[in-house]
């Protein structure tokens, strides 16, 4: 089954063949049975391609028969899905997927009975919490989705806040939500006034995942007003930069001058510039929730008041706004180039100090964990097995001990990165006139999740973990002293690993354990 328009792309964009008829044929020959589009329908030439078309239809219907689509009715009524179980799964996904980016002076968790001034365009929305290509019960009215809990509803239902109020309601359809050019923000902010009778300001900010005016998700929304104003991110609307819609940024800049604690909840997928908040010295927390789903409000309330601790790690690099300006859209190389100034792409090649706000794999927690490196001795059976192998593997074990627990279900994601040896020829290509190194700065090689109060994450490293791609694209083993790091930034490491053709060995005797919160 193809992506929509993919068969047409074979001749229209990729220029692999010259005509629609040729594209239809090579797609069928390549095993395409179902097309999203009309290239095969239009150019398929039934008589010339009868065998291929009948083969595709036969395979498609075989699958449908195997799934029981054409079986006689059994008489049993179709049961409704378990709504409670789905809600619990959605809640867990929202909590475990949320990333605590900042928590200065223990701004979070909030104290029970706090009075919350809740502002921002994402505070009361519902369908916007689901993300692009979500399933809506009513495509004619996205808002008709009673299972979704808004952030305000979650805080009110939680009943841990003594008061949740909006000191100045935002303009629902105005530039406060969606404009890069209009300076309009709620009037009371003009004089840097703090919300009265509030213990904390919670700003729910973000971007829309879909334009409600475009009901067909296959219609490209690049011409929509939301996209052009910089407050939409979806298929068909790629953001041109990492800046906030201006009204939202101005609200956060004003809030950064207030003396009361400030909590910012981000409902958006891609990175957004947060540099204007760096100078704030008061209690500040930033919680990235992505598009957290139907239980977003309940999950947010539980995390803000410490019933649960955020346990997610960034699945992307949160770049600085300057990175986007230095990245030509037509240069798809991964590796940086010193000659052209191209910064590279992904955590594997980009200079964190220069271009990154928060690195890939980053994420704070309310809990305090003790990390201890453990290199278990191989059993006799494992040693014998290793002798028979071409490459004897080595093991890194990280033991976690929960020393401070906040929340019902403390857990921690453990990430293992490997750093190639400095003497590796691919790493030395930075020298002389070479445009850049072929070797990555580091690579994620393993991950695990430990649930408290104690647990271990064990990583067995084999030959494939110490291979790098050369200039010809082929992978080969590189000997020397590699290093392992646990976490991003590292909470353990660098851990030396001696790698030879015969196998790898972890060096021990270093001043660990360490603590992480």
pLDDT in tens, 134-163: 877 776 676 677 789 999 999 999 889 999
Residue 479 has pLDDT above 60, yes or no: yes
The rounded percent of the chain whose pLDDT value lies above 70 is 84
pLDDT at position 219, please?
A: 57
pLDDT in tens, 375-394: 766 655 556 655 666 788 99
Residue 21 has pLDDT above 60, yes or no: yes
pLDDT at position 430, please?
A: 46
pLDDT at position 335, please?
A: 86
Residue 432 has pLDDT above 50, yes or no: no
- The predicted model gives 227-248 an average pLDDT of 84
Contact between 409 and 306 under an 8 Å Cβ cutoff? The reply is no
Contact between 202 and 119 under an 8 Å Cβ cutoff? The reply is yes
pTM of the model: 0.87
Contact between 285 and 365 under an 8 Å Cβ cutoff? The reply is no
pLDDT at position 383, please?
A: 61
Q: Which residue has the higher pLDDT, 183 or 387?
A: 387
Residue 288: closest CA among 307, 276, 301, 272: 272
pLDDT at position 436, please?
A: 52
* Lowest-pLDDT range of 83-97, 125-139, 354-368, 466-480: 125-139
Q: Which residue has the higher pLDDT, 232 or 430?
A: 232
Residue 76 vs residues 79, 201, 517: alpha-carbon distances, Å = 9, 53, 52
Residue 385's Cβ-side half-sphere holds a number of Cα atoms within 13 Å equal to 8
Going through 406-453 in order, the beta strands assigned E by DSSP cover 411-419, 443-451
Residue 342 has pLDDT above 50, yes or no: yes
Contact between 238 and 220 under an 8 Å Cβ cutoff? The reply is no
Contact between 298 and 149 under an 8 Å Cβ cutoff? The reply is yes
Residue 356 has pLDDT above 50, yes or no: yes
Residue 58 has pLDDT above 90, yes or no: yes
* Lowest-pLDDT range of 5-14, 81-90, 216-225: 216-225
Q: Tell me the backbone φ, ψ of residue 54, rounded to 5 degrees.
A: -65, -35
pLDDT at position 337, please?
A: 85
Instruction: Report the distance separating Cα 7 and Cα 43, nearest Å.
Output: 11
The rounded percent of the chain whose pLDDT value lies above 90 is 53
Using the structure block, give the residue that is written with the tokens 């973990």. 465
Band the pLDDT of 175: cuts 50, 70, 90.
very low
Band the pLDDT of 511: cuts 50, 70, 90.
low
- The predicted model gives 61-82 an average pLDDT of 80
Q: Domains along the chain? A: 6-66 (no CATH), 83-310 (3.40.50.1700), 366-516 (2.60.40.10)
pLDDT at position 431, please?
A: 46
- The predicted model gives 209-236 an average pLDDT of 73
Structure tokens of 146?
């009673």
Residue 4 has pLDDT above 90, yes or no: no
Using the structure block, give the residue that is written with the tokens 């309009």. 184
């Amino acid at each position: 089954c193809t992506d929509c328009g993919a068969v047409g792309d074979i001749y229209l964009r990729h220029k692999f063949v010259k005509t629609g008829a040729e594209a239809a044929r090579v797609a069928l020959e390549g095993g395409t049975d179902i097309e999203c589009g009309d290239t095969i329908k239009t150019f398929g030439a039934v008589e010339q391609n009868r065998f291929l078309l009948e083969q595709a239809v036969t395979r498609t219907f075989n699958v449908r028969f195997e799934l029981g689509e054409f079986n006689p009715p059994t008489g049993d009524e179709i049961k409704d899905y378990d709504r409670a179980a789905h809600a619990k799964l959605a809640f867990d996904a929202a909590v475990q997927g949320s990333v605590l980016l900042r928590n200065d002076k223990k701004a979070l968790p909030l104290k029970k009975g706090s009075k919350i001034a809740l502002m921002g365009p994402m505070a009361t929305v519902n369908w916007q919490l689901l993300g692009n290509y979500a399933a809506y019960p009513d495509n004619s009215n996205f808002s008709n989705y009673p299972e979704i809990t808004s952030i305000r509803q979650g805080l009110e239902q939680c009943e841990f806040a003594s008061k949740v109020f909006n000191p100045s309601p935002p303009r629902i359809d105005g530039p406060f939500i969606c404009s890069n050019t209009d300076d309009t923000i709620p009037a009371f902010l003009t004089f840097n006034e703090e919300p009265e009778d509030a213990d904390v300001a919670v700003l729910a900010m973000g971007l829309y995942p879909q334009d409600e005016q475009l009901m067909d998700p296959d219609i490209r929304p690049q011409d929509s007003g939301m996209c052009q104003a910089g407050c939409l991110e979806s298929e068909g609307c790629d953001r041109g930069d990492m800046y906030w819609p201006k009204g939202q940024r101005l609200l956060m800049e004003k809030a950064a001058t207030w003396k009361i604690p400030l909590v910012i909840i981000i409902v958006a997928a891609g990175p957004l510039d947060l540099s204007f908040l760096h100078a704030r010295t008061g209690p500040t927390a930033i919680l990235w929730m992505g598009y957290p789903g139907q239980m977003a409000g309940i999950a947010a309330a539980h995390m803000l008041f410490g019933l649960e601790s955020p346990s997610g790690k960034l699945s992307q690099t949160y770049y600085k706004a300057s990175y986007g300006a230095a990245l030509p859209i037509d240069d798809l190389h991964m590796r940086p180039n010193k000659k052209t100034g191209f910064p590279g792409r992904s955590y594997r090649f980009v200079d964190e100090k220069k271009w990154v706000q928060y690195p890939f794999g980053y994420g704070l927690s309310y809990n305090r964990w003790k990390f201890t490196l453990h290199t278990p001795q191989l059993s006799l059976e494992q040693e014998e097995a290793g002798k028979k192998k071409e490459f004897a593997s080595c093991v890194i074990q990280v033991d976690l001990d929960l020393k401070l627990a906040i929340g019902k279900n403390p857990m921690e994601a453990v990430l293992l990165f490997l750093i190639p040896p400095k003497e590796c020829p691919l790493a030395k290509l930075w020298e002389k006139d070479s445009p850049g190194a072929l070797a990555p700065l580091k690579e994620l090689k393993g991950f695990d999740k430990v649930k408290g109060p104690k647990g271990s994450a064990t990583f067995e490293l084999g030959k494939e973990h110490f291979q790098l791609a050369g200039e010809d694209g082929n992978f080969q083993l590189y000997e020397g002293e590699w290093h392992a790091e646990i976490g991003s930034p590292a909470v353990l490491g660098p851990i030396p690993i001696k790698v030879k053709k015969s196998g790898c060995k972890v060096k021990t005797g270093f001043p660990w354990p360490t603590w992480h919160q």
